[in-house]
Structure 1
């Protein structure tokens, strides 16, 4: 642990940690089994213990991993919109977010809609399914998704900084960052349910 957080130590340990972050965000974004935001928050807290450069590396790697995962998932949705898997995702999107309405929002305000869907728990896949159902171009998606993933990475890294401020002990800060991320996601979900009623 000391080697991971010591900025003067050999960089291999930190490089491996960044590789784990990259893999965790890509896998978590493609298969929602891992809370990717919490991973970025925890790594940001640990990175800040190390140095501001390490913190910045966490933001950049987290954003890049989220971007790659979004492109892969969107390409799969575009190809699979006529498959059973694609239709299942589209039905889920219809139940959660009115597919036609999401498609109209994307055509008018693609960056804003994608940013909102990135930051709201459970909204990313329905918006991407709506985009695929309306044949939103992959190249346009690739351009429009740059700002949303950057905002997402900065937001969760900010929660990492908040967790880091709780304690000088690295793991306590990382756990606090994860707790802040879970609390923020839970609060957003509660507000969305309240507004839906």
Structure 2
């Protein structure tokens, strides 16, 4: 893996690494069990050892993959919103009152609501489920979701650079980037839970 860090050698290997990142983020967007933010942070930390251009490529690939995965998931949610399996997924996303509240927020401030849901752990799928149950149009979602995925990729890219700045050794930087991502998610979740209790 060390050869990925050389900006002049093994361009094909770097392209393969970017393709793996693309696939991981698309899959993680559809099946929210894959830690996509950690993948972008880790790759950004590695990419910075190559060049700033490589770091930009990681952010672009991460944003494009998140966008494609979100579109795919939303299309599936829209299609399944009126089926038994779709209704079960929607029930898992939250109770009907909560989904209605999310749908109202989405109707008023779609870009802001989608951006917040992209950045808060566990909020993206409920917002998308609420949108699907109210038949929020897929073309409108496609336009509105460009800003959220870009913000998300930039945020995790920045965490990767922060991790990289903590160590000159590539793998220590990757570990620090992943740890920062996990810590940031945990902190946001803690703040969310405290606000909900109030």
> If the length of structure 2 is used for normalisation, what is the TM-score?
0.97
The answer to whether structure 1 residue 71 and structure 2 residue 71 are counterparts is yes
Q: Map Cα deviations across residues 121-161 of structure 1 (whole Å, 9 max, x no partner).
A: 00000000000000000000000000000000000000000
When the two chains are superposed, the root-mean-square deviation of aligned CA atoms in Å is 1.2
For 1:1-197, list aligned pairs within 5 A. 1-95=1-95, 98-197=98-197
> What is the distance in 2 between the residues matched to 1:92 and 1:110?
22
Aligned-pair distance for 1:41? 0.3
**Deviation larger for 83-92 or 125-134:** 83-92
Q: Shift of residue 16 of structure 1?
A: 0.5
Q: By how many angstroms is 1:32 displaced?
A: 1.7
SS where residue 9 of structure 1 aligns? coil
Give 3-state SS (helix, strand or coil) of 2:167's partner. Answer: coil
Q: CA offset at residue 86 of structure 1?
A: 1.3
Runs of 4+ in 1 over 4 A off after TM superposition: none
CA distance in 2, matches of 1:34, 1:96: 27
- Secondary structure at 2:121's aligned position in 1? coil
Q: 1:96 Cα shift?
A: 9.2
**What is the CA–CA distance in structure 1 between the aligned matches of 2:61 and 2:115, rounded to whole Å?**
18
Give, in whole Å, the separation in 2 of the partners of 1:105 and 1:26.
26
- Report the Cα distance in structure 2 between the residues aligned to 1:95 and 1:183, rounded to whole angstroms: 28
Unaligned 5+ residue runs, structure 1?
Answer: none
Task: In structure 2, list runs of 5 or more residues that go unmatched.
Answer: none
Q: Distance in 1 between matches of 2:29 and 2:96?
A: 18
Greater Cα offset, 94-103 or 138-147: 94-103
TM-score (norm: length of structure 1): 0.97
